[in-house]
Chain A
Amino acid sequence: MSLKCLLVWLSLTLAVVPSAAADAAGTTVFAAASLKDALDEAARGFDAESGNRTTISYGASSSLARQIEHGAPADILVSADAEWIDYLEERKLIRAGSRVNLLSNRLVLVSPSAGAIGIRIEAGFPLARALGRDRLAMADPDHVPAGRYGRAALESLGVWTSVSGKIARSENVRAALALVARGEAPLGIVYSSDALAERRVRIVDEFPVSSHPRIVYAAALAAASRSAAAPGLLAFLRSPAARAIWVKHGFGVLD
Chain B
Amino acid sequence: MLPTPEELEVLALSLKVAFWSVLVSLPLAVAVAYLLARASFPGKTLFDAAVHLPLVLPPVVVGYFLLLAFGRRGPIGALLDDWFGVVMMFKWTGAALAAGVMGFPLMVRAVRLSFEAIDRKLEAAASTLGAGRLAVFATVTLPLALPGIFTGMLLSFARGLGEFGATITFVSNIPGETRTLPLAIYTYTQVPGGDEPALRLSLLAVALSLAALFVSEVMVRRATRRITGDDADGRH
Contact = CB atoms under 8 A, between A and B. Distances in A.
Interface of A: 60, 62-63, 65-66, 69, 84, 87, 133, 135, 140, 142-143, 167-171, 175, 179, 182-184
A147 to B, nearest CB: 12
B70 to A, nearest CB: 11
Contact of B172 (A60, A65, A66, A170): A170
B90 A143 contact: no
B192 A62 contact: yes
**A-B pairs, 5 with minimum CB distance:** A63-B190, A143-B191, A183-B73, A66-B192, A168-B90
Nearest to B190: A63
A182 B191 contact: no
Interface string B40-78: 000000000000000000000000000100011100000
B192 A69 contact: yes
B172 A179 contact: yes
17 contacts: A63-B191, A65-B192, A66-B189, A66-B190, A69-B192, A140-B173, A143-B191, A143-B192, A168-B172, A168-B174, A170-B173, A171-B190, A175-B172, A184-B71, A184-B73, A184-B89, A184-B90
Interface of B: 67, 71-73, 87, 89-90, 168, 172-175, 187, 189-192, 194
Contacts of A167: 174
A79 B194 CA distance: 19
Nearest to B173: A169
B197 to A, nearest CB: 12
A142 B6 CA distance: 14
A182 B190 CA distance: 25
Given A66-B190, A87-B192, 14 more contacts: A65-B192, A66-B194, A69-B192, A143-B192, A167-B174, A168-B172, A170-B172, A171-B190, A175-B172, A179-B172, A183-B72, A184-B72, A184-B73, A184-B89
A167 B73 CA distance: 19
Nearest to B85: A133
Nearest to B72: A184
Contact of B175 (A65, A133, A143, A169): A169
A169 B172 CA distance: 7
B191 A66 contact: yes
Given A168-B172, A179-B172, A142 B71 contact: no
Contacts of B72: 183-184
Contact of A62 (B67, B172, B174, B190): B190
Contacts of A87: 192
A87 to B, nearest CB: 6
A1 B110 CA distance: 35
Contacts of B190: 60, 62-63, 66, 143, 171
A187 B128 CA distance: 66
B34 to A, nearest CB: 37
A66 B194 CA distance: 10
A183 B89 CA distance: 11
A62 B191 contact: yes
Contacts of A60: 190
A171 B72 CA distance: 20
A66 B174 CA distance: 21
Nearest to A179: B172
B192 A182 contact: no
Contacts of A62: 190-192
Contacts of A182: 67, 71, 73
- Which of B67, B90, B187 is the most central at the interface, judged by chain A CB atoms within 10 Å of its CB? B90
A145 B175 CA distance: 18
A188 to B, nearest CB: 12
Contacts of B173: 140, 169-171
Nearest to A63: B190
A169 B174 contact: yes
Contacts of B191: 62-63, 66, 142-143
Contacts of A135: 90, 174
A252 B67 CA distance: 35
A169 B183 CA distance: 12
A133 B194 CA distance: 31
B198 to A, nearest CB: 11
Contacts of B87: 133
A179 B173 CA distance: 12
A81 to B, nearest CB: 13
Nearest to B186: A171
